[in-house]
């Protein structure tokens, strides 16, 4: 897992939920598959985004077992890690009844590491090992060489005197995307509400796979992936024309 030094905030453009929705509508219309309501789209989009996000972990685990490619833009481990960058968080959990509660962290999804006093990374040990270690003066933990165990969604620190100065690195769960609408002031028809809608949190490079995944949920098989890109570009071009 990562330490406090490897958490980087990657600057990226979010995937616009309106572009994705309108692209899906355009393709479903071309395929004569009927209208996809905003509620249907939002539910499917959330599932597809979560599926892509979860796949990052299995892909990263697989790639770390393969020899790395030193080419800057072809290093798969680095590329996957970049996509996970926006979801990497470091925060201070609540200390309750002998341990630090992971469920007190906002949008907690997967555990990373434990940092003590901003720079010391604690070592994780099994519950079965900790008591043997504590009985041995030579390897007993100290604040400068801390240990921890995971027990029922709680981090227990050793020595037990560590009740502050602890931070947890973790992956947060992506927020659910939402295409929301408001009424047109004169025509009384729903229009895109850019203020209250929620964009996808995935890396911008995932837009095509995201749209393709939503279409698969709708039962639409796209044999030519460029169709999705062309449709999305058409939507963006229409938006640019309207703004110019």
Mean pLDDT, the chain cut into blocks of 10 residues (244 residues total): 42 82 91 88 96 86 59 66 89 92 89 94 91 85 94 90 95 95 76 95 92 91 78 82 70
Question: E strands, 117-186, where?
Answer: 120-121, 123-124, 147-150, 154-158, 166-172, 181-183
Helix (H, G, I), strand (E, B) or coil at 123: strand
Q: How many domains does the chain have?
A: 2
Helix (H, G, I), strand (E, B) or coil at 234: helix
Residues 150, 220 share a domain: no
Domain boundary among 172, 192, 214: 172
Residue 52 forms part of a structural domain: yes
- In angstroms, the CA 137 to CA 89 distance is 35
Report pLDDT for 189. 72
Q: What is the DSSP letter of 79?
A: H
Report pLDDT for 40. 95
Residue 1 forms part of a structural domain: no
For the chain, the residue count is 244
Tell me the CA end-to-end span of the chain in Å, nearest whole number: 47
The CA distances from residue 117 to 112, 158, 163, in Å, are 17, 14, 11
Residue 178 forms part of a structural domain: no
Q: Are 195 and 127 in contact (CB under 8 A)?
A: no
Report pLDDT for 6. 44
What pTM was computed for the model?
0.78
Residues 62, 104 share a domain: no
Residues 113, 68 share a domain: no
Half-sphere exposure of 13 (CA within 13 A, CB side): 7
Q: What are phi and psi of 89, to 5 degrees?
A: -130, 155
Residues 168, 99 share a domain: yes
**Domain assignment of residue 104, given as a range:** 94-172
Residues 135, 74 share a domain: no
């Amino acid at each position: 897992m990562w330490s406090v030094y490897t958490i980087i905030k990657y600057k990226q453009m979010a995937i616009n939920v309106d572009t994705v929705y309108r692209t899906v509508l355009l393709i479903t219309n071309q395929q004569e598959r009927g209208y996809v309501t905003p509620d249907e789209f939002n539910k499917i989009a959330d599932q597809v985004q979560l599926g892509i996000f979860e796949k990052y972990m299995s892909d990263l685990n697989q790639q770390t077992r393969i020899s790395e490619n030193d080419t800057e833009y072809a290093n798969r481990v680095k590329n996957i890690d970049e996509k996970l960058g926006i979801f990497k968080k470091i925060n201070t959990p609540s200390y309750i009844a002998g341990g630090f509660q992971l469920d007190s962290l906002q949008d907690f999804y997967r555990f990373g590491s434990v940092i003590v006093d901003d720079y010391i990374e604690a070592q994780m040990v099994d519950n079965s090992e900790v008591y043997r270690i504590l009985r041995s003066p030579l390897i007993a933990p100290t604040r400068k060489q801390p240990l921890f165990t995971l027990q029922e969604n709680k981090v227990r620190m050793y020595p037990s005197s560590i009740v502050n100065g602890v931070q947890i690195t973790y992956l947060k769960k992506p927020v659910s995307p939402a295409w929301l609408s408001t009424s047109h002031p004169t025509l009384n028809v729903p229009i895109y509400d850019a203020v209250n809608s929620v964009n996808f949190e995935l890396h911008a490079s995932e837009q095509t796979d995201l749209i393709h995944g939503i279409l698969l949920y709708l039962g639409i098989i796209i044999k030519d992936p460029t169709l999705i890109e062309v449709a999305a570009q058409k939507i963006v071009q229409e938006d640019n024309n309207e703004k110019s």
